[in-house]
Amino acid sequence: MPLLSIILPFHNESGGVRALFRRLYPVLGQLEMDYEIICVDDGSSDATFDALQHERQFDQRLKIVRLARNFGKETALTCGLNLARGDAAITLDSDLQHPPEVIAALVAKWREGVELVYAIRANRDTDGKLRRLFSRAFYAVFRTIADIQMPEGAGDFCLLDRKVIDAINALPERNRFMKGLTAWVGFRRGTVPFDVAPRDTGASHWNFFRLVRFAFDGLSGFSTFPLRIWTWCGALVSVGAISYAFYLIYDTLVNGVDVPGYASIMVAILFLGGLQLLSLGIIGEYMARIFVEVKARPLYLIAQRIGFDK
Ligand code: UDP
Ligand code: MG
C-alpha cells in the first residue's frame, strides 16, 4: 500500500490536539493507504508536546519532532517535508481550520494523477475585514509582479506527490514561503474547494506586522520588480526635473528673477526625500534577505524526535 505522510505544524495548540486527532483518524482509516503523522512542535511554550506524546500512546504511526524554538510555520512545514517518507504528503493546519475530511478529496485527485493538489478556500468569512482586504491586495500585487502564478485562496493545505516533495526539499533558500515554493516547482496541478472553519481553540498567531513581513517575504522571494521599479521612478523624476529646469531658465530670461517659490521647493525636496527613503528601504529589505541567505545557518534545529527510524 502507498504511504501517506500527514504533516501538522503545532505552535501552542495544546487545547486542540485531542479534537484534531478525533477527526483525523476516521478519515485516515478510510483511505486504504498506510500513513504516518508527522507532528512538528514549533517551539510551543504550553503543553502541546505532552499532548502529542499522549496521543502517540494510541498510535505508533504518529511521530513527533520538537524544534529547538519557534521557527515559524513555514519552517515547521519544511522540517515536516524533510522528514516525510510518504509517496505523498499532506500539509494542514493543526487548529482544525483545515477540515481533515477534505483529505479524502485530495487523495482522490492524487490517484487521478495530479501531482500537486491545492485545497482552495471557498471563502474568507473567518478572516477579519482588514485581513481580507490585505490578502486581496497581496494577491493582486503578487499576480501583477511575481514570476509565478499562485492560485488565489490556495494556502498551506495541499497534497504533494513524492516528486514535488523532493523538488521542494532540494530548494536551497532560507526564505520558505511555502505557497510560492509549491507554485514555483510546477508539476501537474489540481484544486479541491473547501470551507475554512473558524478556529476551534486558541488564537491566531498573526498580527498586522507579522502579516506585512510575511507578504514581503513572498513578494521579494518571487519578484525583483520592487527593486527595479526605482530605475523607472528615477528616470521619470529626472525627465520632469530637466523639463522644469528648462522652463525655469526660460522664465528667468523672459520674465526676470522671481524670488517667491518656497512652496514648490519644499514640495520637491519632500517628495524626492520620501522617494529616496522608500527606495533605500526596499533595497534594505532585499539586502537583509540576501544577508540571511548568505549566513547559511541551518533552517531549523531539532531538539527531540520521537518515532523516526534514524
Ligand atoms: N504555527 C506554527 N508556528 C508558528 C505559528 C503557527 O507552527 O509560529 C501553526 C499553528 O499551530 C497552526 C498553523 O500554523 O496549526 C496556522 O497558524 P494560525 O492558525 O495562527 O494561522 P491562521 O490560521 O490565522 O492563518
Ligand atoms: Mg488558523
Confidence of residue 302 (pLDDT cuts 50, 70, 90): very high
- 214 located within any domain: no
Maximum CA pair distance of the chain?
92
What is the Cα 276 distance to its own chain's centre?
Answer: 29
Q: Is the pTM of this model over 0.85?
A: no
Cβ neighbours for 107, distance < 8 A, ≥ 6 positions apart: 4, 31, 33, 88, 90, 159
Please tell me the total count of domains within the chain: 2
For residues 139 and 233, membership in a common domain is answered with no
Say which residue, 72 or 271, is predicted with more confidence.
72
- Which range is least confidently modeled, 41-45, 94-98, 214-218? 214-218
For residues 151 and 165, membership in a common domain is answered with yes
Distance CA 287, CA 107 (A): 41
For residues 183 and 234, membership in a common domain is answered with no
Work out the percent of the chain whose per-residue pLDDT is above 70: 99
CA of 107 to the centre of ligand 1 (A): 23
Say which residue, 158 or 124, is predicted with more confidence.
158
Of 222, 220, 228, 230, the closest CA to residue 275 belongs to: 230
The per-residue pLDDT for range 202-221, each reduced to its tens digit, is 777 777 888 888 888 888 88
Say which residue, 190 or 127, is predicted with more confidence.
190
The per-residue pLDDT for range 231-242, each reduced to its tens digit, is 888 888 888 888
- Is 307 in a helix, a strand, or coil? coil
In order of 101, 119, 217, 233, the CA distances from 161 in angstroms are 19, 14, 25, 43
Task: Please tell me the predicted confidence (pLDDT) of residue 139.
Answer: 86
For residue 254, the enclosing domain spans 225-295
Return the C-alpha cell found at 92: 494542514
Of 82, 89, 92, the closest CA to residue 170 belongs to: 82
CA of 203 to the centre of ligand 1 (A): 9
For residues 232 and 141, membership in a common domain is answered with no
Confidence of residue 310 (pLDDT cuts 50, 70, 90): low
- 215 located within any domain: no
Task: Please tell me the predicted confidence (pLDDT) of residue 308.
Answer: 86
Ligand 1 site, CB within 6 A: 9-11, 13, 42, 70, 72-73, 76, 93-95, 97, 204-206
Say which residue, 276 or 5, is predicted with more confidence.
5
Question: Average pLDDT in the 259-286 region?
Answer: 82
CA of 97 to the centre of ligand 1 (A): 10
In order of 72, 182, 253, 301, the CA distances from 205 in angstroms are 10, 23, 64, 21
For residues 46 and 92, membership in a common domain is answered with yes
The per-residue pLDDT for range 112-128, each reduced to its tens digit, is 999 999 998 887 777 77
